[in-house]
Amino acid sequence: MPVKRREMVPLALLWASGIATLFILIVILAFILANGLPLVNWNFLTAEPSVWGQTGGGIYSTIVATLAVTGVSLAVAGPISVGGAIYLNEYTKENFLRRIIRQAAEILAGIPSIVVGLFGFLFFVIYLAPYTGGWSVLSGGLTLAFMVLPISLRTSEEALKTVPAELREGSLGLGATKWQAITTVVVPTALPGIVTGLILGLGRAIGETAAILLTAGGALNLINSLYDPGRPMTLHLYDVLTEYRDTSTAYGTAAVLIIAILAITFITDWLMNRYTNKLKGL
């Protein structure tokens, strides 16, 4: 279809905005990967970081710490957010309380991470120290759970909302109990959306730095338990850069972080597409 002359300028601007978004992403990815990837090899991934005051070394203990804090946050926030979304969407009517809870989740998602970190520091590191080990990957993970929770709750709720009412009616109409309808029809149908919410939360947890800075402790040693202080990759990146100006270790760590997040995103997308197609019978 021919474009009218006076529509060409706005159209060009829209096109440029679209391209700019893509371009910025590519520049960042290319820059980090070009600088970081040459450093990433088996040794970098499996060696311990160098001791205080020296540059270089691997990032093995920081990968383990990232897995630990992320795992703790998902283990805590996952069931609560999915359970909360199911409760809100299936068991409560659209009323004042529900709007309050939803609003609360949104506000929680908007609290600056350093403020969440401050709370985590006061509550988990100081007040609950006998149970969390003070500075520890457990304290860090629990603090991250506050940030994962609202993201995954809202996404799960949206996913449950998209399940057609006819499917619930169909199930209840056959004499299924409400619980059976939820477990056998509603949740399986909403599963791709629920998993997407958890992955978004996971991405947030892996990438978070400020809240971790105040709660996880930052020790370079390989953790033995969740009660040990640890240094996740994001914090390691921050430390080596600000303390030692070790840009190459920072780039290498950044590259590993980005690859991990890209891999998680693509693999989940692929799995969920397969699952959705199976539901649709394709």
Partner 1 sequence: MDDNVEISVKNLSLWFGKFQALKNISIAIPKNEVTALIGPSGCGKSTFIKTLDRMNDLVDNVRITGEVIYKGRNILDDDTDVVQLRKEIGMVFQKPNPFPKSIYDNVAYGPRVHGIKDRKALNDIVEGSLRKAALWDEVSDRLNESALRLSGGQQQRLCIARLLAVEPNVLLMDEPASALDPIATSKIEDLLYELKREYTIIIVTHNMQQAARVATHTAFFLLGELIEYASTIDLFERPRDKRTEDYVTGKFG
Q: In the complex, what is the shortest distance from the CB of residue 166 to partner 1, in angstroms, rounded to a whole number?
A: 4
79/173 with CB nearer partner 1 = 173
The one-letter code for the residue type at 218 is G
Q: Which of 196, 200, 233, 178 is nearest to 66 (CA)?
A: 233
Residues that bind partner 1 (CB under 8 A): 93-94, 164-177, 180, 184-185, 188-189, 278-282
3/174 with CB nearer partner 1 = 174
Q: In the complex, what is the shortest distance from the CB of residue 71 to partner 1, in angstroms, rounded to a whole number?
A: 31
Residue with tokens 């995954």, as numbered in its chain = 152
134/188 with CB nearer partner 1 = 188
Q: Which of 215, 259, 198, 208 is nearest to 234 (CA)?
A: 208
User: Is 208 exposed, middle or buried, given 0-12, 13-18 or 19+ CB atoms closer than 10 A?
Assistant: buried
139/171 with CB nearer partner 1 = 171
Q: In the complex, what is the shortest distance from the CB of residue 186 to partner 1, in angstroms, rounded to a whole number?
A: 10
Contact 150, 78 (CB under 8 A): no
Q: In the complex, what is the shortest distance from the CB of residue 203 to partner 1, in angstroms, rounded to a whole number?
A: 27
Instruction: Give the up-direction half-sphere exposure of residue 177: CA atoms within 13 A in the CB hemisphere.
Output: 3
Instruction: Write the CB contacts of 250 (distance below 8 Å, at least 6 apart in sequence).
Output: 237, 240, 241
62/196 with CB nearer partner 1 = 196
Q: In the complex, what is the shortest distance from the CB of residue 126 to partner 1, in angstroms, rounded to a whole number?
A: 46
Q: Which of 93, 90, 92 is nearest to 179 (CA)?
A: 90
> How does DSSP classify residue 37?
G
Residue 151: CB atoms within 10 Å = 23
106/169 with CB nearer partner 1 = 169
Q: In the complex, what is the shortest distance from the CB of residue 142 to partner 1, in angstroms, rounded to a whole number?
A: 37
